[in-house]
A and B are shown apart, each in its own frame.
Chain A
Amino acid sequence: DAKTTQPTSMDCAEGRAANLPCNHSTISGNEYVYWYRQIHSQGPQYIIHGLKNNETNEMASLIITEDRKSSTLILPHATLRDTAVYYCIVRLISGYSTLTFGKGTMLLVSP
């Protein structure tokens, strides 16, 4: 699976949009981009995934650049409960490949 690079930490004010970047310059055509998050002392939680089109669900939006070498996860109105480590993971399309977690981005949402 391709490697991802994320900032170690980010801060965001409550109520503002949180934009979390991820670089995956070596992504191949048969790999999706997945985002998970892990709140302290809990298991990871699925957020969203995409291949090349932008995606939106009730939790977040995923913007993937046209060359697919980077993406941004957007939490439109961050709350204190969104404080967590956010993991960007690339994963093969075919079959079921395991998830390889990197260090992720620690997002701190402050009042």
Chain B
Amino acid sequence: GAVVSQHPSRVICKSGTSVKIECRSLDFQATTMFWYRQFPKQSLMLMATSNEGSKATYEQGVEKDKFLINHASLTLSTLTVTSAHPEDSSFYICSARKMGARENTEAFFGQGTRLTVV
């Protein structure tokens, strides 16, 4: 199966600092990666879609200057939460689509990153 790994799985940071979350496809190349956010007792909300080598596409209401996404290679996408505040505390999840996959292949998800801003 296809494995997507996120790092770190948990992070606690001070308010005002920046945090970088990595999403790696371990055994396949991913042309497209997706970043989701999930607040407690709520469902996953798509934040942005990133394509390798191009700028990410952000969903409405998501600040692109606050949530920096880099997809520099076919196996790595990063999400940087800049100047984090307590309200950014959430569960961040990435998913990846295999390069060359036929349409409607299932999405592969990482295990998520629990961010706590204190």
Residues in A lying within 8 Å of B, measured CB to CB: 32, 34, 38, 41-46, 49, 87, 91, 93-96, 98-104
Contacts and interface: CB of A to CB of B under 8 A. Distances in A.
B101 to A, nearest CB: 8
B103 A42 contact: no
B49 A46 contact: no
B43 A98 contact: no
A77 to B, nearest CB: 22
Contacts, number: 54
B104 A102 contact: no
A104 B109 contact: no
5 contacts: A43-B6, A43-B95, A87-B43, A96-B103, A101-B44
Contacts of B49: 98
Nearest to B43: A101
B43 A102 contact: yes
Contacts of A101: 36, 43-45
B28 to A, nearest CB: 14
A100 B46 contact: yes
A40 to B, nearest CB: 10
B110 A43 contact: yes
A41 B91 contact: yes
B114 interface: yes
B93 A44 contact: yes
Contacts of B110: 43
Given A44-B44, A98-B49, A34 B91 contact: no
Contacts of A96: 32, 97, 101, 103-104
- Those 3 A-B pairs whose CB atoms lie nearest each other, nearest first: A43-B109, A46-B106, A101-B44
Interface in B61-118: 91, 93, 95, 97, 101, 103-104, 106-112, 114
Given A43-B111, A99-B46, 5 more contacts: A41-B91, A49-B106, A96-B97, A98-B34, A101-B43
Interface in B29-62: 32, 34, 36, 43-46, 49
